[in-house]
Amino acid sequence: MKHLLKLMDLSGQEIKQILDLADQLKYNQKHGIAHESLKGKTLAMIFEKNSTRTRVSFETGIYQLGGQPIFLSGSESQIGRGEPIQDTARVLSRYCHGIMIRTFAQETVDQLAEWSTIPVINGLTDFAHPCQVLADLMTIREKFSKLSGLKICYIGDGNNMANSIIIGGLKCGMSVTVACPEGYEPHPKAMEYALRSGGDFTLTMDIRKAAEGADVVFTDVWASMGMEKEVQARQRAFKSFCVDAEIMKLTNGAMVQHCLPAHRGEEITEEVFEAHASEIFEEAENRLHAQKAIMEILMK
């Protein structure tokens, strides 16, 4: 494993390796066992979109591993003034030991990796959110002590989260159902992977059908970052795609995962969110542990 660009690039075994190390690093941290495997190393962090969790968990994570983060916002660095990504890649490769990037096009991340001599980590693109879904898989495995055979459903927009859940879930032997309105399906590449994988995958417009017997219910915002102009049209299209108490009754007493930030009253009701807050905030915490594992594997 040289980079983490998208989950499609990882084998089920590599995902397991990350989750196992993440569990160990979480244990170490909870027991005050120092683990400075990246002492003296620096992680450049490029953000072309807003963030709370990704920024703070990567910064904290690299500190805890003995290294140092360098925050670069798109607008304040030369990236915002149009410096080509291949030049940024070659420059950062001379100073740092890893690059985390949050941006729009997946191609930007792929190109950064192509031109870098150091590992590149995708901290969210319009196509994928691999770090988030690794943290989600860790959280689910903590609760059920397994992944294979569980039924997960994702209710909402066929966005970066949906794409990564489909691929990550199927790679871990889970049954994956996505419910979305017509016209808001997951990316064709994720759909193609799902069909090609031979895994248990269903796409439906019926959220009740998706929730039936589910062990885990996922949802995410109706309008992702970069879709601000579509907010009103999306509010109309997604009106009935809300995880509420009625939907939860159809599940197998499911846990709820939400990558956050959440829009209460849109994709999830306040009632369901608060009833499952401990699972959702454990998921947020696990970003730290999962990403420490990713950095250690790639940058050590």
Interface residues with ligand CP (CB under 6 A) are 51-54, 124, 132, 259-260
Q: Is 97 a catalytic residue?
A: no
Residue from the set 72, 255, 259, 293 that interacts with ligand NVA by CB under 6 A: 259
Phi, psi of 152 (to 5 degrees): -110, 145
Instruction: Provide CB contacts within 8 A for 183, sequence distance 6+.
Output: 237
The answer to whether residue 132 is catalytic is yes
Question: What pairs with residue 256 in β-bridges?
Answer: 217
Q: By CB under 6 A, is residue 224 in contact with ligand NVA?
A: yes
Query: Toward ligand NVA, which CB reaches closer, 57 or 160?
Result: 160
Residues 258, 218 contacting (CB under 8 angstroms): yes
Q: Could you give the CA distance from residue 200 to residue 282 in angstroms, rounded to a whole number? A: 27
Which one, 42 or 164, has the nearer CB to ligand NVA? 164
**CB nearer to ligand NVA: pick between 118 and 167:** 167
Residue 88 or 132: which CB sits closer to ligand CP? Answer: 132
Query: Which residue number is nearest to ligand NVA in terms of Cβ?
Result: 224
- Coil, helix or strand at residue 260: coil
- Based on the residue annotation, tell me whether 153 is a catalytic residue of this protein: no
Which of 102, 234, 258, 289 is the catalytic position? 102
Reduced to 3 states (helix: H, G, I; strand: E, B; else coil), residue 265 is coil
Tokens coding 279: 């699972």
CB 122 within 8 Å of CB 4 = yes
Q: Which does 91 bind (CB under 5 to 8 A by kind): ligand CP, ligand NVA, none?
A: none
Distance CA 159, CA 275 (A): 25
Q: Is 57 in the site for ligand NVA (CB under 6 A)?
A: no
Q: Does 161 bind ligand NVA (CB under 6 A)?
A: yes
> CA 253, CA 150: separation in Å to the nearest integer?
12
Is residue 129 among the annotated active site residues? yes
Find the binding residues for ligand NVA in span 13-52 (CB under 6 A).
Answer: none
Min separation Cβ 233 and ligand NVA, Å: 16
Instruction: Name the active-site residue from 53, 126, 131, 132.
Output: 132
Tell me the C-alpha distance between 218 and 213, whole Å: 14
Least gap, CB of 226 to ligand CP (angstroms) = 12
Distance in Å, CB of 128 to ligand CP, minimum: 12
**Nearest by Cα to 16 from 295, 293, 300:** 293
Instruction: Enumerate binding residues for ligand NVA (CB under 6 A).
Output: 124, 159-161, 220-221, 224-225, 259
